[in-house]
Amino acid sequence: MTVQGTDARRAAVLGSPIAHSLSPVLHRAAYEELGLTGWTYDRFDVDEDALPGFFDGLGPEWAGLSLTMPLKRAVIPLLDEVSETARSVEAVNTVVFTDAGRRLGDNTDIPGMVAALRERGIEQVDSAAILGAGATASSALAALARICTGEVVAYVRSAARAAEMRQWGERLDIEVRTADWSDAAEALRAPLVIATTPAGTTDELAAAVPERPATLFDVLYEPWPTTLAARWSAYGGAVVSGLDLLVHQAVLQVEQMTGRAPAPLDAMRKAGEHALDAR
């Protein structure tokens, strides 16, 4: 799923809201490092209703798009082909336009999570816990389906969310048990904890971090560190951040859109860190 060439090409990230997105920083850093002087990467505030019209207005200079909420599912009917990875969670975050004009959809969040964990030495775990049950939680489950050999416990706030997570487990062929959010402190003793909740949600759990925590993957990157991540680090646990995820999934996007591999991981991470520091 690649597009070759170094002539003037365009790419962008779409979503609503989108002003906060770090994707332009990461992709532009990659283009500079790769010598793709004719490539540009922008951001556009596009909601579900406006998405078909945006696609209709794209010319042959477009190489690809990154998609964030609320477009990851809405884009699927507009595509010619969707990867098995994206189909597994019904979410596309990457669109590549081929020279023949085909629209190819993929999900780099899932392999991005796996790559971010592998970078920290996490190749396989025998069990894991997920905090939350939203769209990111389903991607986390899909990532765990690749590296977790045993049970995943998802801590959720409602019976409906619990049912959804069990259904995702069945679909992804991974054993999922659900527990009430009131027991979420128990999650922190798992070999791998993936926090997928909005900012501030896990602050209440920081006091329950065990003396020897294992690995926390907190998908947030702003504000950073979260209260939970800060306590986790203070107790000597390994922490994988939302920026790690963002960079690794963007690396895969750059490789697909440009046809150039490997993408410059270090340069992209440094650009992201600098942008967050500047904020």
pLDDT number for residue 279: 86
Asked if 270 is an active-site residue, the reply is: no
| CATH of region 9-106+246-278 | 3.40.50.10860
pTM: 0.94
> 225: cis peptide before it, omega within 30°?
yes
| CATH of region 110-240 | 3.40.50.720
Q: What is the pLDDT along the chain (279 residues), one digit of tens a residue?
A: 444 444 789 999 999 999 999 999 999 999 999 999 999 999 999 999 999 999 999 999 999 999 999 999 999 999 999 999 999 999 999 999 999 999 999 999 999 999 999 999 999 999 999 999 988 999 999 999 999 999 999 999 999 999 999 999 999 999 999 999 999 999 999 999 999 999 999 999 999 999 999 999 999 999 899 999 999 999 999 999 999 999 999 999 999 999 999 999 999 999 999 999 998
Residue ranges matching CATH 3.40.50.10860 in the chain: 9-106+246-278
Residue ranges matching CATH 3.40.50.720 in the chain: 110-240
Active-site choice (72, 161, 248, 269): 72
pLDDT number for residue 250: 98
